Structure 1
Amino acid sequence: MNTTHLSIAGGIAHLIWDNPPQNRMSPGVMTGFENAIEAIKSDSSVRVVVFSANGENFSLGGDITIWPGVSPEEMAIRIQKSLARANLLEELPMPVVSAVQGKCSGGGFEYVLRSDVIIAERKATFRHPEQTLGVFTLLGGVHRVAERAGKTRAMKWALTAEEVSATEMLEAGVITEMVDNGKALERAMEWARELADGPTHAHAAHKELLRLWSAGGVPAADQGISDLTRKIFGTRDAQAGIDSAVNALAKGVERPALKFSGA
């Protein structure tokens, strides 16, 4: 059974987990995920990625049925590989938009945190359940929440393993938008279509600046601006955008909205 699907059309890659009702991250789901990421990376037409899951829940996390009997040393090796796999989504140069419904917990939540835009339905809930098993957020969830919402909230949610509502996640700045139930994927696709028509290289530059900032703060991000400037100002999109602005200024009219080529 195929538990991960990928379609690419109109500059949008749609990656879907399909292992309901819990959408557990089984070996099959993870193999399919890696293959999908490789396909996205090798397709130059992709300008935005939508990440969603079929069924009533986004994902309740990893497949813990394969954990018993694994030595700590072997588990450390497996988790390191799992962490690198999750980071593949975060490292994509194009924007990633996630659509979340139902329960989103454990590893599923940690994968969603790799997204640039998170759209959640009103009844969606988010949870770090790891401490109830005596372990911790193995794929870097606690510090990615802290980056978005601050250390206090991140620690509270990790210590209590409580289910956190989409409303609270929106107020905390963890998710981007909350929509009516059944509308998350529709709204994610609206975002995707708009981003797919946008300046692809500029989107990638903003992702890179935030990555540098996350790793080394404002000084590190500032140091990256020079190299990014060289890249961006050599693109046709930037040249078209600047020419359009200069022409509009010369004519005393408003700049027209541009549909960028991604080149």
Structure 2
Amino acid sequence: MCWSRRGGPVPRIHLDSEGPVVTVRLDNPPMNAFDAAQREELATCVRELADSRDVRAVVVYGGERLFAAGADIKALAAMGPEEVRGWNRALQRTFDEVARLPMPIVAAVTGYALGGGLELALAADYRVAGEDAVLGQPEVQLGIMPGSGGTQRLTRLVGPSRAKNLLMTGRRVGADEALRIGLVDEVVPAGQVLDAALGYARRLAEGPSAALEAIKEAVDHGGDGGMAAGLALERSLFTGVFGTADAAAGIRSFIEHGPGRARFDGPARDA
């Protein structure tokens, strides 16, 4: 897979497989700042994950000390407007590819998740944070703004007023506040972040993968238009899922054994 075809001598992305769950670990010391090499490696890995029929859930992790502290500001400072536009377009596209992975994505947020680091976490479906985590979009303090999904995904997650407060002040929030406003979904002791994220990912990986993919698509895209368009999308996805092997197994198990006992062994994405 992607780690065997890295373009440089030092890998910046590692993939660790545990059955159907894959952990994508950032490794660009000291702060996991996104430079071009790390972005390119992440993009390659994400595209291979998207095509895999064996991966049922993904955990994004920055290591025990921190998640990611944003973009490589020194590299950005050396760019002109045209160059920075291309750099930003590529990073935005990569994070969008993370968000559009068909399987559930869990972010394991340790330490700092700032700027582009938070934007990557926002691309996940669920965020587990350590009790000492610090999150924020501090770009305004540099006279700029988020450019890789921060204004859009943050607003959809916490609402316009809270998003504007975080974006316009650049202030950092601790784990407790992040949980209260919905920026993260779960807070655990600092040393248990990866285990908690993996536990949730394993639970989802045991579910009916086609149904999970359809639910993700309905939630992520159902609000793009009006209610009628959202209901039409839901209806279409429901009909497609109903014909899968997992649906047949789940319905049969419900009739024979009652709710909550089905085991789903269908392919990661039914053909």
TM range (shorter): over 0.9
| 1:95 equivalent in alignment to 2:82 | no
Any idea what the Cα deviations from partners look like across 1:104-144, whole Å, max 9, x if unmatched? Answer: 10000001000001000001010111001111111121221
| 1:161 equivalent in alignment to 2:170 | yes
Map of 1:9 onto structure 2: 18
Aligned AA (2:240): K
Map of 1:124 onto structure 2: 133
| 1:133 equivalent in alignment to 2:137 | no
| Mean CA deviation greater in 104-113 or 141-150 | 141-150
**Across the two proteins, how many residue pairs are aligned to each other?**
258
Any idea what the Cα deviations from partners look like across 1:156-182, whole Å, max 9, x if unmatched? Answer: 111111110111111111211000111
Map of 2:259 onto structure 1: 255
Map of 2:213 onto structure 1: 204
1:27-66 to 2 correspondences below 5 Å: 27-66=36-75
- Provide the C-alpha distance between the structure 2 equivalents of 1:210 and 1:174, rounded to a whole number of angstroms: 17
CA 1:159–1:110 in 2, change beyond 3 Å: closer, same or farther?
same
Map of 1:234 onto structure 2: 243
- Provide the C-alpha distance between the structure 2 equivalents of 1:214 and 1:255, rounded to a whole number of angstroms: 30
CA 1:77–1:214 in 2, change beyond 3 Å: closer, same or farther?
farther
- Provide the C-alpha distance between the structure 2 equivalents of 1:70 and 1:28, rounded to a whole number of angstroms: 16
Equivalent residues of 2:222, 2:234 under 8 A apart: no
- For normalisation by structure 1, the TM-score amounts to 0.93
- Provide the C-alpha distance between the structure 1 equivalents of 2:180 and 2:226, rounded to a whole number of angstroms: 24
CA 1:169–1:217 in 2, change beyond 3 Å: closer, same or farther?
farther
Q: For the aligned residues, what is the CA RMSD?
A: 1.5
Aligned AA (1:94): M
Determine what percentage of the aligned residue pairs are the same residue. 31
Structure 1 runs of 4+ aligned residues shifted over 6 Å read: none
Structure 1 unaligned segments of length 5 or more: list them: 249-253
Equivalent residues of 2:250, 2:263 under 8 A apart: no
* Secondary structure of 1:67's aligned partner: helix
Any idea what the Cα deviations from partners look like across 1:146-204, whole Å, max 9, x if unmatched? Answer: 11111111001111111101111111112110001111100011011111111111111
Shift of 1:79: 1.3
Equivalent residues of 2:254, 2:261 under 8 A apart: no
Aligned AA (1:87): D
Equivalent residues of 1:5, 1:32 under 8 A apart: no
- For normalisation by structure 2, the TM-score amounts to 0.91
Aligned AA (1:175): V
- Provide the C-alpha distance between the structure 2 equivalents of 1:139 and 1:199, rounded to a whole number of angstroms: 31
CA 1:38–1:201 in 2, change beyond 3 Å: closer, same or farther?
same
- Provide the C-alpha distance between the structure 1 equivalents of 2:263 and 2:216, rounded to a whole number of angstroms: 20
- Provide the C-alpha distance between the structure 2 equivalents of 1:51 and 1:217, rounded to a whole number of angstroms: 32
Equivalent residues of 1:143, 1:154 under 8 A apart: no
- Provide the C-alpha distance between the structure 2 equivalents of 1:43 and 1:187, rounded to a whole number of angstroms: 24
- Provide the C-alpha distance between the structure 1 equivalents of 2:230 and 2:265, rounded to a whole number of angstroms: 27
- Provide the C-alpha distance between the structure 2 equivalents of 1:222 and 1:12, rounded to a whole number of angstroms: 31
Equivalent residues of 1:47, 1:262 under 8 A apart: no
CA 1:212–1:60 in 2, change beyond 3 Å: closer, same or farther?
same
1:17-32 to 2 correspondences below 5 Å: 17-32=26-41
Aligned AA (2:262): L
